[in-house]
Chain A
Amino acid sequence: MSAVRVIAGYALQEAVRRRVFSVVLWLTTLFMALYGLALWQVFKRVADIHPPNGIEPRPFAGATVFGLSMFATMFLGVVLGVFLTLGVVGGDAERGLLQPLLVRPVSRTQLLLGRLVAAVAVCTVYVACVYTILLLMTGLIGGWWPDRIALPAVELAAGVATVAALSLLGSVFLSATANGIAVFIVFGAGLVAGLLGSIGEALGSGTLKTAAHVASWALPFEALYQDGLAKITEHTAGFASFILKLGPFGGAHAAGPLLGVWIAGYVLVVSALALAGFTRRDL
């Protein structure tokens, strides 16, 4: 276990010294400034918004804007998580950084685990901070609070952790650049699945909805995001049946209690595949 801790500490030090954090922090600050501006604009004239079906304008505007900000939170978290994991095996092995670590009494399992733990810890703290700040901004500027506060944040963090695990898996087989591209393609595929679901919803196409639903579980960061969206208006009457189902990157979809089990199993299988590939790999 102590080897896992040393590797995780090394990964954190690497992230800090290589300025991964400062890049992401700059992007985050920029996004928050824009979000604040958007909030101010939207809620300045919230009375002029006329949502259909007798929904109140304030929850309508709040949920829509906050739903989008949740997507941005997950996206920025994914950028961070991928930065932290994309070269862990292939990239570092090619550069000769990995070999000196692995001839120490550190197993390949411990190395992967240390790296995953570090990435998940960093991303979880990051997502929690960003989510909290955006929540406070929405509440204080817009006067709207989501129905469920903590669970959507947990789901976003879990979504980011899933992508980090996928990126670690990719790093076993691909060079850093190829892996970075591959992971963002997979992430993009999840978003496309969400978009298809929204289109299916708008057109009333059952086939499209089913395909999108299956895809969102195959790439479960998308299912997590959609479930998080559903949670923010969980108790708002008439809401779930309407507008948030049409989010640009996937609408709100309550996933049910099985999602947590599915995610745990998914990350476990992805990690096991990564380990199996890593064990067979000559360095």
Chain B
Amino acid sequence: MGLRTLAGMPPALSVQALEKRYDGVQALAGVDLVVEEGELVGLLGPNGAGKSTLVKIACGLVRPTSGAVEICGAPPTSADARRALGYLAELFRFPGWYSADELLSLHQRLAGSDGDRAERAELLRLVGLDEAADRSIDTMSKGMQQRLGIAQALIGSPRLLLLDEPTSALDPAGRRTVRTLLEELRGRGVAVMLNSHLLSEVELVCDRVAIISRGKFVAEGSPEELSHARGVEIETGSGMHSFPDAEREDAPRLVADLVARGESVYEVRILRTSLEESYLEVVEDTQE
């Protein structure tokens, strides 16, 4: 994919030939990805595929073995990249002795955000915690803490949001709140990369999905493209012929060829798989 620029603006996130080896474990084996301004990209993959590693390298928490990452054109460990970034880790904890409001205030100071009380109140309202501003984090459920984590990630109006399994502790209503929020953010031009193993979630909000398995991208496209995986099956007098690479448009030609060879055609099936099926397919192929 390489580095693309939109009207001269560097992409929110660009990842090139990224590799990461922990001692003995190849977590990422050469990954390329570009997330443009205002784009919502879902990173799907089984446990251990390398999703968290990719995100942690993007926020400068993990050092890549090789390859390059840029956040809005700046290296991940630079202050510029950090100012453009909001992050919620998969396994996070916030100091239990803080209240929600105090936590956001700390992050405002660290981010150098000039947002004041109003920014904090607005963010808490966005994630449905406006009643809990003064509540200590110790007394919050995991789901509330996760929503607070999303509010924390939004401090300082980041241009890129990296969310690692942000809804793992949320109930269906909480997930819906987050979905609505993500759609609103996209409207404001914020780029989002969302790690998940929840297909339905990704299917519902993401513009683009990248499926990762064993440290490599194995499929990429819009949810529609991925869920309408190709393949045509034609049943003839001599049995079933399958054309796994064929698309709907190829069907008339395939039928004509078979008829020309003297086959009698009984049925033509255009195979469409759900996102889940194509996910399982590509992931299982690489897990063998």
Contacts and interface: CB of A to CB of B under 8 A. Distances in A.
Contacts of A6: 106, 109-110
B190 interface: no
Given A102-B61, A103-B85, A282-B62, A96 B110 contact: no
Interface size class of A (residues with CB under 8 A): 20 to 34
A10 interface: yes
Contacts of A107: 77, 79
Contact of B95 (A14, A99, A102, A106): A14
Given A10-B106, A105-B112, A100 B152 contact: yes
A96 B106 contact: no
B217 interface: no
B93 interface: yes
8 contacts: A17-B95, A96-B93, A99-B92, A100-B89, A103-B61, A103-B87, A105-B111, A106-B82
Contact of A100 (B56, B62, B77, B92): B92
Contact of B91 (A2, A18, A96): A96
A103 B109 contact: no
A104 interface: yes
- Chain A interface, >50% SS class: helix
A280 interface: yes
Contact of A283 (B62, B106, B107): B62
| B59, B92, B98, B110: residue with the most chain A Cβ atoms closer than 10 Å | B110
Contacts of A150: none
Nearest to A97: B93
B186 interface: no
Interface in B19-68: 22, 56, 59-63
- Going nearest first, the 3 A-B pairs with the smallest beta carbon separation are A17-B97, A104-B110, A105-B79
A255 interface: no
B83 interface: yes
Interface string A97-117: 101111111110000000000
Contacts of A99: 61, 87, 89, 92
B95 A104 contact: no
Given A2-B112, A17-B98, A106-B110, 10 more contacts: A14-B97, A96-B92, A100-B87, A100-B149, A102-B61, A103-B60, A103-B61, A103-B85, A105-B79, A282-B56
A189 interface: no
Nearest to A283: B61
Interface in A1-47: 2-3, 6, 10, 13-14, 17-18
